[in-house]
């Protein structure tokens, strides 16, 4: 990794020291952005390059997207691929078209929908290129490989965490998603399965919101005095529930379990407002996706599906070394 990896290691050490003073979250984001900018400005070496791979930026950016990119960049160097990053393009089909025009032989993307993915796969096949998907599994033919998480198991993990927090008794609201991505529905199913095993817990699953702060805030306001805990399958739902709990003060304190590792979520976890976060390693997703791309470029058969583990992180365990690496992949 050279000088950049040394800088990242130094930045990671500084980040860990800052953690004890409660300032890691913003320091971590700054280091990540600095590393991304420095690596983006360096052209890849020509010697040993086996092909060009395009990582198409998701429509909703954030910490997970940054971690995926970081993992892809690390693997590109290791496996001899030239990585190009397609962003600031409206729609994944347009981004795929741009990537193919720039000579990409493999497209890496987190699909917005099955329809978008079908169009991208058809476009890629017409240009003798391959498609590798990250995070969600769609019933679309022609995808070379998928790197995903077991969203059903992640949902069960969230349900188990809530049952533990409530000591097996109480009313829980499941704040679902209005997204068409199948992963969110699988998370919700896992939550319901796990809490269904708890005779002392009742579940209200009649609410949903997506990425709209206003919509999620309204749902949180309606639920906050009616339940003992909220499980939100999307990031914004957990943030809105935490904000509403803070606004109402200690008297309306409820248990909150969410998914993701966005900086605002981690701050609320550190402060004990969010009680549990179910997290995945975006770095590993990007790394393994690029590894599969390298296999395609070498004429080898990639693995059809790779499933990554998820983990429940608490306000205390977020300080553990293995969880620091999960939440901040540049920490050595």
What is the CA angle 72-75-76, rounded to 5? 80
Rounded distance between C-alpha atoms, residue 206 and residue 83, angstroms: 43
> Is 37 buried (19+), middle (13-18) or exposed (0-12) by CB count in 10 A?
exposed
Residues 17 and 158 reside in one and the same domain? no
What does DSSP assign to residue 111?
Answer: -
- 116 and 180 inside one domain: no
Angle at 281 between CA 257 and CA 291, to 5 degrees: 155
Is residue 186 exposed (0-12), middle (13-18) or buried (19+ Cβ within 10 Å)?
A: buried
Q: Do the Cβ atoms of 74 and 44 come closer than 8 Å?
A: no
Would 269 be classed as within a structural domain?
Answer: no
117 in the same domain as 249: no
**pLDDT score, position 281:** 85
Rounded Cα–Cα distance for residues 277 and 110 (Å) = 21
CB 186 within 8 Å of CB 151: yes
Q: What are phi and psi of 220, to 5 degrees?
A: -65, -40
24 part of a folded domain = yes
Instruction: Say if residue 127 is in the same domain as residue 16.
Output: yes
Number of domains in the chain: 2
* Pairwise CA distance, residues 79 & 40, whole Å: 18
Its pTM stands at 0.79
Report whether 106 contacts 83 (CB < 8 A): no
Which pLDDT score, from 0 to 100, does residue 13 have? 42
Please give the Cα distance from 12 to 150 (Å, whole number): 29
Are 56 and 106 within one domain?
yes
Q: Is residue 7 part of a domain?
A: yes
Range of the domain at 41: 2-149+281-309+318-327
CATH value at residue 194: 3.40.50.2300
pLDDT at 168: 97
Asked whether residue 88 is assigned to any structural domain, the reply reads yes
Q: Does 11 lie in the same domain as 109?
A: yes
* DSSP E strand boundaries for the chain: 51-56, 81-86, 106-109, 130-135, 145-149, 170-176, 201-208, 229-232, 255-259, 276-280, 305-308, 310-313
Model pLDDT, residue 331: 52
Please report, for residues 4, 22, 29, 62, the alpha-carbon distance to residue 33 in angstroms, rounded to integers and kept in the order given: 13, 20, 6, 11
Are residues 26 and 74 both part of a single domain? yes
Statement to judge: residues 214 and 165 lie in one domain: yes
Q: For residue 227, which of 307, 137, 305, 165 has the smallest C-alpha distance?
A: 165
Provide block-wise average pLDDT over 10 residues at a time, the chain (332 residues).
38 40 49 42 56 85 80 93 89 94 96 91 97 91 95 97 98 90 92 98 90 88 93 93 88 86 89 95 91 96 93 93 73 52
Tell me if 196 is assigned to some domain: yes
Q: Is residue 18 part of a domain?
A: yes
Of 117, 88, 133, 102, residue with least CA distance to 285: 133
Looking at residue 311, what is its pLDDT? 93
- What's the rounded Cα separation, in Å, for the pair 305 and 330? 26
- In this structure, the answer to whether residues 16 and 108 fall within a common structural domain is yes
Q: How far apart are CA 73 and CA 91, in angstroms?
A: 23
Identify the pLDDT of residue 63.
73
Note whether residue 242 is domain-resident.
yes
Q: Are residues 224 and 174 in the same domain?
A: yes
Indicate whether 133 and 203 sit together in one domain.
Answer: no
Measure CA of the first residue to CA of the last residue in the chain; give whole Å.
Answer: 13
In this structure, what token pair is assigned to residue 331? 């920490």
pLDDT at residue 5 in the model: 38
User: What is the model's pLDDT at position 37?
Assistant: 38
Whether residues 9 and 129 fall in one domain: yes
Q: Does 108 reside within a domain?
A: yes
């Amino acid at each position: 990794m050279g000088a950049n990896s040394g800088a990242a290691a130094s930045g990671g050490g500084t980040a860990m020291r800052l953690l004890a003073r409660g300032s890691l979250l913003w320091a971590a984001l700054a280091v990540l952005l600095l590393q991304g900018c420095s690596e983006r400005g360096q052209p890849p070496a020509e010697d040993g390059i086996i092909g060009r791979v395009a990582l198409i930026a998701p429509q909703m950016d954030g910490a997970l997207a940054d971690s995926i990119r970081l993992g892809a960049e690390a693997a590109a160097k290791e496996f001899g691929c030239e990585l190009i990053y397609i962003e600031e393009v409206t729609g994944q089909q347009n981004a795929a078209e741009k990537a193919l025009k720039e000579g990409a032989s493999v497209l890496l993307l987190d699909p917005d929908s099955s329809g978008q993915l079908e169009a991208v796969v058809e476009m890629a096949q017409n240009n003798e290129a391959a498609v590798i998907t990250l995070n969600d599994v769609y019933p679309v033919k022609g995808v070379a490989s998928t790197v995903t998480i077991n969203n059903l198991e992640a949902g069960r993990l969230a349900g188990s965490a809530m049952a533990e927090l409530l000591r097996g008794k109480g009313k829980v609201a499941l704040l679902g998603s209005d997204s068409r991505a199948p992963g969110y529905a699988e998370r919700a199913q896992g939550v319901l399965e796990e809490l269904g095993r708890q005779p002392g817990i009742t579940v209200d699953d009649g609410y949903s919101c997506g990425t709209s702060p206003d919509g999620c805030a309204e749902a949180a306001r309606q639920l906050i005095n009616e339940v003992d805990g909220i499980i939100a399958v999307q990031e914004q739902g957990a943030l809105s529930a935490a904000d509403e709990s803070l606004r109402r003060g200690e008297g309306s304190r409820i248990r909150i379990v969410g998914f993701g590792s966005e900086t605002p979520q981690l701050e609320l976890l550190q402060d004990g407002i969010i009680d549990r976060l179910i997290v995945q390693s975006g770095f590993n997703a990007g790394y393994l996706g690029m590894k599969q791309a390298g296999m395609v470029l070498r004429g080898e058969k990639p693995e059809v599906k790779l499933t990554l583990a998820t983990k429940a992180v608490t306000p205390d365990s977020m300080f553990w070394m293995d969880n620091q690496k999960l939440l901040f992949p540049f920490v050595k």
